[in-house]
Chains A and B, each alone.
Chain A
Amino acid sequence: MAAVLEPYIYEGGIHKHGLILELLEDLGGFLVQKIPAATEVTLIMLIPDKDIHLMEELAIKLLGKITKLPLTGTEIAVVSPTLAYHHLPHSACDIAEFLRRGGANTNMIGLARGMGRRVALSGDYERKLINEHDIALFSFGTFSDCIINKKPKLFEGIDIPIVVTGAPDIKTEDIPNADMYIGGIGRVSHRLRKEPELEGLDKMNEMVSEMVGRVRKEIAKDPLAVLPARVMKEIKDQIPEIEHVLTPAPITIQLDGLRVKLPYDEFHKRVENIEFDEGPLLSEVAKVMPSKMKNYILIKIQRKSEVGFVI
């Protein structure tokens, strides 16, 4: 039985941070993202829960800080009705920024025709793109009538959990097809920095974490054939070209898969043929498909019930 991995972030000096990486490897954890910035480094990692105290001790020795990051390993779509200045940069960007502080990888998606009441609609391509993520967060506005009666048609065809943000205080049950509603974050045209606004964003992170927890529990009932973090490590080891990809997260971990930012046509065969020490190839435990985002590769890992074993 594989150890339960907990997401943590290490923030400290770049000096001797290799010790952290060595310990992580010894413990059987995974490095999700490494962000060096001048003399500082931020490491986002998954650590086996029984050995966290070892990591904490080392972090204290190196004068760094280790904190739990509940949203690590999730890719969240922040969907705003359009990309016009009515919705951006505030509040949609502020929402995305806060989710990233919680450890999530976010993608901002502005619908082409999501604005308005009667005329709001989403396209097939947009729906497919949103469905590639773990959670879709729709950022809506001020009026409860719009959120309850008109905007839910944008949720049609979305299969992943739907989180809705808006200004009014309404119940989740009142919004058809939404899985969670977070109030207090509506349309604003200034940066969210007043106390009640920041409180609202903190609450949002808490509630989104709760939603991630729900999804994780759901997955635990029928576990994944292989952990996404393990696949990430194998890709890094077996496809060295990934080191030359310049995006901030060349491999983005999702709750049940990964997005690999390499061109599909050129690399999908090699990704499919990734070998695990235990024997099977990646294509035997996961579906490798073209992503709707650019020409990236999307990997969705199959469940134990489908494959018959867990690596």
Chain B
Amino acid sequence: MGPLETFVVESTIPEEADQYKQIVSDAITDLVLAKAIEKIKVVVTPEETLFQMVVVLRSGMPPVKVSDFAQVGEGTFGESEVVIDIDNEAYLPQLLENLWEMCGRINVHQPERKTISVTCDNPLEHISEIEEMIIEDPQRTLQSKLVDMAIRATPEGFRVRYHSLNGNHFIFVATEDIMKKEWIEEAHKMLDELTGGEPSGSSS
């Protein structure tokens, strides 16, 4: 299943919709969201000053734990320390930050590029705790990116906004006039059409 299974942009005049698709696509590319989005549909109705967007996100992006990218073990015999060997440096800054908070900055050392040692009293007790530590929650960053993408893709003057994120389903309606209930209902219907009536997924 490739990225962006469905990508539809509709408008009153089809050529203008094609032009607008480029703008939405640029916004998605800029925020590196292509992999996270499964389906997206945008309807722009300039005559009514209305922008509607529904997005179905890919589910199954679990939070990243330390055990996912590192081996946590006991240090040399006699030393009371935990040694963490990491495979993926991308998570290193956040990991260090979390360890500093947990054990104090003075107890965290980095003797080598990919090795971190943490001095503590009972190393064996801490190993499982460190292994389970959540370093990044893609779902959370995704949400803020998604909102950013929606605002970038909207025509600028449309400052009256409605948005809803329910599980993997994101609805965004923007206008510059008073928001009408029908528009929001319409967007919900669009979402139903896009998903074919399947429920909204697990995580929320």
**B16 close to A144 (CB less than 8 A):** yes
Report the separation of the CA atoms of residues A87 and B155 in the bound assembly, to the nearest whole angstrom.
10
Take A118-B177, A189-B26 as given contacts and tell me if A141 and B47 are in contact as well, using a CB distance cutoff of 8 Å.
no
Main secondary structure of the interface of A (DSSP, over half): loop
- Chain B's nearest CB lies how many Å from the CB of A181? 15
- A90-113 vs B, CB cutoff 8 Å, 1 = contact: the mask equals 000000000000000000000000
**B49 close to A143 (CB less than 8 A):** no
- Chain A's nearest CB lies how many Å from the CB of B21? 10
**B152 close to A141 (CB less than 8 A):** no
**A188 close to B176 (CB less than 8 A):** no
Take A86-B156, A190-B26 as given contacts and tell me if A117 and B46 are in contact as well, using a CB distance cutoff of 8 Å.
yes
Report the separation of the CA atoms of residues A85 and B19 in the bound assembly, to the nearest whole angstrom.
17
Chain A residues engaging chain B, CB cutoff 8 angstroms: 81-82, 84-87, 115-120, 141-146, 167-168, 186-190
Q: For chain B, which range describes its interface: under 10, 10 to 19, 20 to 34, or 35 or more residues? A: 20 to 34
> Which residue of chain B is the closest to A81 with respect to CB atoms?
B156
Give chain A residues whose Cβ lies under 8 Å from the Cβ of B152.
Answer: 85-86, 189
B61 at the interface (CB under 8 A from A): no
B12 at the interface (CB under 8 A from A): yes
**A189 close to B13 (CB less than 8 A):** no
User: Which 9 A-B residue pairings sit nearest by Cβ, starting from the closest?
Assistant: A116-B157, A115-B157, A189-B26, A115-B156, A143-B46, A86-B156, A145-B46, A142-B19, A116-B176
Take A118-B49, A119-B157, A189-B30 as given contacts and tell me if A145 and B12 are in contact as well, using a CB distance cutoff of 8 Å.
yes
B139 at the interface (CB under 8 A from A): no
Most chain B beta carbons < 10 A, residue from A115, A118, A189, A190: A189
Chain B residues engaging chain A, CB cutoff 8 angstroms: 11-13, 15-16, 19-20, 22-23, 26-27, 30, 44, 46-47, 49, 152, 155-159, 176-177
CB contact between B27 and one of A115, A142, A189 (< 8 Å): that residue: A189
**A142 close to B156 (CB less than 8 A):** no
Report the separation of the CA atoms of residues A87 and B156 in the bound assembly, to the nearest whole angstrom.
9
**B156 close to A116 (CB less than 8 A):** yes
> Which residue of chain B is the closest to A143 with respect to CB atoms?
B46
Report the separation of the CA atoms of residues A141 and B158 in the bound assembly, to the nearest whole angstrom.
14
**A168 close to B15 (CB less than 8 A):** yes
Report the separation of the CA atoms of residues A176 and B157 in the bound assembly, to the nearest whole angstrom.
21
CB contact between A117 and one of B12, B13, B15, B157 (< 8 Å): that residue: B157
Give chain B residues whose Cβ lies under 8 Å from the Cβ of A186.
Answer: 19
**A117 close to B49 (CB less than 8 A):** yes
**B176 close to A119 (CB less than 8 A):** yes
**Please, could you name 11 A-B residue pairs with CB atoms under 8 Å apart, sorted by A?**
A81-B157, A84-B156, A86-B156, A116-B157, A116-B159, A117-B49, A117-B176, A141-B155, A142-B23, A188-B23, A190-B26
